[in-house]
Structure 1
Amino acid sequence: GYTTVVEKLLAGHAQELTDGSLFSVYGDQNVWWLLLLVFCTMLTKVVATSITVGAGGNGGMFGTSLVAGALGGFLFARLVNLTGLVVLPEVHFVVLGMAGVLAGVVHAPLTAIFLIAEITGGYALFVPLMLVTSFSYLITKHFEPYSVYTRKLTLKGVDVYANRDRDLLSRLDLHRLIDTEFVPLRPGATLGELVEVFRHAHRNQFPVVSKGGLLRGVITLDMVRNTLFDDAHYTTTKVRELMQPPAALVCPTDSVEHTLALLERTATPALPVCDAEGIYLGFVTKSTILARYRRELIEEGQV
């Protein structure tokens, strides 16, 4: 337990671990018997807890993590010291071992840092604690995406990331998703000018904007497909006669979640963005939102 193992290791009295054990006869004579006891105790603790938790019981994750981490940290430091190559502070590695194992088991590096620093008073080891817990979390997260607690829920079919999509979308800034590469047209432009724009544009949707920057409507290739190749209308037909009001307008203060819902409801790939005065700012596209959303997933290491 914590009192019999961790406190002795933190006090630097590791040799007392052999007291009352089968190794007590040999512990004072050979340090390897002490290390064998430490290794066996650590292994037994891990196996016993795994069996208990696997059988549906409660093995006490915090206590087990602290003991196993303390034993592992001490074992590593003592083995390195026995090589004579360098002298490591064994007590410090006991603290770091506890933090590392706890961070990996519960997937909570900050909890491990502050908990271990608080119960051991090891605030001088804050930087090493941050490094150890960070590496422990990243490594365990790579091989096991769920903590020991959330894994039980996933095995029961519970989606622990049920609100994850909403959380990710709430992080996105709509201002950074506005696409300004859509070529604006004047209401008085002719069909011939529109055809010329079509030839060089990379989009098939165009905003119709007045001189003051107000959005008057939108025009797409589908709207003018029937008259596009009729030369007779190139000089007589104006854009204002062909444009249509947008299916919906997006305000720059809208959330990305609301914007995505508008795109889904209107079944359009892009919607214009206007401020409160109706000034055209650009378009927001579904592909841009989904691309940014996927990037967020990759950055979280979930894809």
Structure 2
Amino acid sequence: MALAVVVGAGAGAGSVVFRWCITTFTHLLSGHADYSASPGADNPHLPWLGPYFVLFAPVLGGLLYGPLVNRFAKEARGHGVPEVMLAVAQRGGRISPKVAVVKTLASALCIGSGGSVGREGPIVQIGSALGSTLGRVTKVTEGRLKLLVACGAAGGIAATFNAPLAGVFFAMELILGTFSAEAFGATVLASVTASIIGRATFGDTAFLHLPDFHVDHLTQYGLFAALGIGAAVVGVGFSRFLYLLEDACDWLWRGPEWLRPAIGGLALGLLLLALPQMYGVGYPVLQKATEGGYAVGFLLLLLVGKMLATSLTIGIGGSGGVFAPSLFIGAMLGSAYGIGVHHLLPHSAGAVGAYALVGMGAVFAGAARAPITAVVILFELTGEYSIILPLMLAIVLATAVSRLISPDTIYTLKLRRRGIDLEGPAPGARIGTQHVDAVMEPLPSPLSASTTLADSADLLSLSGHGALPVVDDTGHYVGVVTAQSVAEALAEQPENAPTQVGQLAEAPAQVTADQPLAQAMHALLSAAGTGVPVLDSEQGKPVGWLSHQSALRAVHTAS
């Protein structure tokens, strides 16, 4: 817990430095605190260039951060979050400390020179690198090291966006991929500590300032639901287009990697000249869209422009996140949709800004498939609670539709393209590549569902397993009963306790004989007992038993 507080303080301080670097580089290279607030304006440092300075700003930025990333930390390229997910899933939470420094400078230079990316990916990677470094210095266990990495991610999100709850859920839902009391407590401490530092520096203000919204007609829920479905398609489309353009850049580029951001910056500069609203993160443009400041045609142009600008920035080797672009795209989609339905149903459609806000959350949910984070972060970023029900509805639908369309998220797709499956075996790992049927044990004698608790306690105590399969009177598999659940039931008052073991049987996550051991390990590690039954993939009948010991025997099988 003490280390979580220290990591949170470090992430909070890191976010302050990072945002200061962004502001400084933006002012140096554009002459404005945020050029997207004054699109098309001249650079006061170079007035003789007029708006054409945007042709050269990305080139200069690329010349600075390209060699930096290529020489010191190649993992600082791109949007950062997938690298942290990989470190937690397959590298024991180990992240090089130099990533924090390189990512800070590279991402700030990229955004400051016009790169159309967000700051959440960099700050997650920066905070996580700090957590990993502290964990290794203090020699904590691997499990605690992973938790400190998540604490760094939570603190970075919390301080950067003034969103402490969102930081916690982002860390658990996307980085750890699991929820537990210990993880929640540690990430909360880190998030709160970082938020205090962030608020002391940036103030306690909402990310967007929106008027109160109210759902006055039930028909609006149907409109929000349709927006959620459409946002899922847009979110998945953004993910696919991002990597399609990255592939195109890989195919076209034949020079040294350190020079790629500078040469690619010429293409980005041409896009910024045509659509200067794409310069940097673009929060002022997003704010204006939620206020209904653009026509439908221009909103759709901004939507497509952001997809292209973000994909091009990442494709040429830029460094920055995709969360803010997802929000931007969602706001443009929601605003255009809101204006459209307002014209069709002027008396029941409601405020346009409400659709922009819901679109932001739904597109992010469709791209990242993190519904809890999407709901919480949109609430905290705007401070707008009155829209929470439509927001939840649209986000859940966007997540479900996204899962139907694509098996990968915008984060996992980056790793899968490199041949990395977070649920599969790590490259070179001695356990994971085998199939379950090669290492499983014979199936223990199952308990009948009608067995009394006293008899099941005797059988479990004599068994070499802390859990046993349970079958009903017809011999069909029901689930598994653990020694712990039987002991807890026997300790209850007799009139309240179950009488038969079938009442305690629970079905663990399914493990099949033809499944790779790496996937089965997730079910085994999350199981309450010391093992799980192995089912036939066709009939679903238990055919073996997978325990921690049998998984370890795979080491000898591999050698």
Taking CA–CA contacts closer than 8 Å with sequence separation of 6 or more, which of the two structures ends up with the larger relative contact order?
A: 2
Relative to the length of structure 2, the TM-score reads 0.28
Q: For the pair shown, which has the larger CA radius of gyration, 1 or 2?
A: 1
Relative to the length of structure 1, the TM-score reads 0.50
